[in-house]
């Protein structure tokens, strides 16, 4: 147990202003935090404030906001984080989830029935399950060295993670990148290696495309993994892995790279079996 697991009221010399809250780090347990060791840039002090900086991206299931976590009066203790917030049951769409969640375990038969009936409880549970699935995937993938954002914490239906960008500007998606042939080939090799990282860990991204791969400081960062697929447990796993290969290679071929979906698929299968 670490001392930063508890609030320290005496260090809170200011009150949160508009668009601010106390850091939610003390409200999380070790299992709801990113893997050790925590990176040096991460602010874990209980006296820190989370300040809303704006909306980065909207989606069917979740919106991504930008926040600054900083200790008031200490300019050296500040970091920028992406906050992925899953929508309320009235405003989200999990219609595409069935194929992805096959093989995932639920906590009880009651939860299984609620998910199947799509009751109010079941819809709330679906959001929580997807949030935890994404957080756990990021934890595991970051531990094996895959190029994903470092998962800082999960609290309720909000995942805080490393922000890939400069200032308040997010890194561009791969689909937005315009590079010469040499750089395109290098980026393709990085994407292929990331897919190998996923496969060695027993996963397929499940929805990989140039739109959920960022290019930050010349390196790729794979994002949006709530639908990650367990290749052993999900009967559609290999189909989704093959689709990832087709989506990725099709885009790179259009950019002039030498890429073959079937060859890549065979390479990844060798990692799995």
The CATH number assigned to the domain holding 103 equals 3.30.200.20
Please tell me whether residues 265 and 180 are part of one structural domain.
yes
Do 125 and 104 contact (CB within 8 A), yes or no? no
Dmax (CA) of the chain = 61
| 52 lies in some domain | yes
Q: In what order do the strands lie in the sheet with 20-22?
A: 20-22, 49-58, 62-70, 78-86, 158-162, 151-155
Please tell me whether residues 209 and 162 are part of one structural domain.
no
| 142 lies in some domain | yes
Domain boundary among 149, 166, 183: 166
165-203 in b/e burial notation, b at 16+ Cβ within 10 A?
A: beeeebbeebeebeeeeeebbebbebbbebbbbbbebbb
Domain boundary among 123, 149, 166: 166
| 247 lies in some domain | yes
pLDDT of residue 103: 54
| 82 lies in some domain | yes
| 184 lies in some domain | yes
Please tell me whether residues 17 and 144 are part of one structural domain.
yes
Please tell me whether residues 110 and 223 are part of one structural domain.
no
Domain that holds residue 182: 171-272
Please tell me whether residues 107 and 239 are part of one structural domain.
no
What total of structural domains would you count in the chain?
2
Q: Which helix (H) or strand (E) holds 44?
A: none
At residue 75, φ and ψ (nearest 5 deg) are: -65, -20
Please tell me whether residues 150 and 188 are part of one structural domain.
no
Domain boundary among 138, 166, 194: 166
**Gap between the Cα atoms of 112 and 192, Å rounded:** 36
| 1 lies in some domain | no
Please tell me whether residues 205 and 80 are part of one structural domain.
no
Q: What is the pLDDT of residues 72-83, one digit of tens each?
A: 999 999 999 999
- Residue 251: give its domain's CATH number: 1.10.510.10
Please tell me whether residues 216 and 138 are part of one structural domain.
no
Q: How confident is the model at residue 56 (pLDDT cuts 50, 70, 90)?
A: very high
Mean pLDDT value across residues 194-206: 97
Please tell me whether residues 30 and 161 are part of one structural domain.
yes
Active site residues: 207, 224
pLDDT of residue 93: 54
Mean pLDDT value across residues 36-47: 96
Of 47-61, 101-115, 173-187, minimum mean pLDDT range: 101-115
pLDDT of residue 256: 94
Please tell me whether residues 209 and 81 are part of one structural domain.
no
Please tell me whether residues 30 and 152 are part of one structural domain.
yes
Mean pLDDT value across residues 133-147: 95
| 223 lies in some domain | yes
Which has the closest alpha carbon to 36: 148, 160, 139? 139
Q: How confident is the model at residue 102 (pLDDT cuts 50, 70, 90)?
A: low
Please tell me whether residues 18 and 122 are part of one structural domain.
yes
């Amino acid at each position: 147990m670490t001392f930063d697991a508890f609030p320290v009221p005496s260090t809170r010399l200011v009150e949160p202003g508009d668009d601010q809250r106390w850091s939610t780090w003390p409200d999380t347990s070790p299992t709801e935090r990113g893997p050790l060791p925590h990176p040096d840039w991460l602010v874990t002090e209980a006296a820190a404030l989370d300040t809303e900086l704006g909306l980065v991206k909207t989606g069917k299931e979740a919106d991504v906001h930008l926040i600054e976590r900083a200790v008031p009066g200490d300019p050296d203790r500040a970091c920028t984080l992406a906050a992925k917030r899953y929508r309320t049951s009235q405003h989200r769409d999990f219609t595409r989830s069935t194929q992805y969640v096959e093989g995932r375990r639920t906590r009880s038969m009651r939860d299984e029935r609620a998910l199947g009936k799509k009751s109010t409880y079941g819809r709330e549970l679906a959001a929580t399950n997807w949030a935890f699935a994404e957080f756990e995937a990021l934890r595991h993938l970051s531990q094996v060295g895959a190029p994903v954002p470092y998962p800082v914490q999960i609290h309720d239906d909000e995942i805080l993670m490393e922000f890939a960008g400069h200032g308040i500007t997010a890194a561009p998606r791969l689909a937005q990148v315009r590079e010469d042939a040499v750089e395109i080939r290098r980026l393709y090799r990085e994407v292929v290696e990331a897919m190998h990282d996923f496969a060695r860990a027993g996963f397929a991204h499940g929805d990989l495309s140039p739109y959920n791969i960022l290019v930050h400081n010349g390196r790729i960062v794979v994002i949006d993994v709530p639908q990650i697929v367990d290749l052993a447990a999900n009967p559609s796993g290999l189909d989704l892995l093959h689709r990832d290969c087709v989506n990725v290679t099709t885009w790179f071929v259009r950019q002039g790279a030498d890429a073959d979906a079937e060859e890549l698929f065979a390479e990844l299968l060798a990692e799995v079996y």
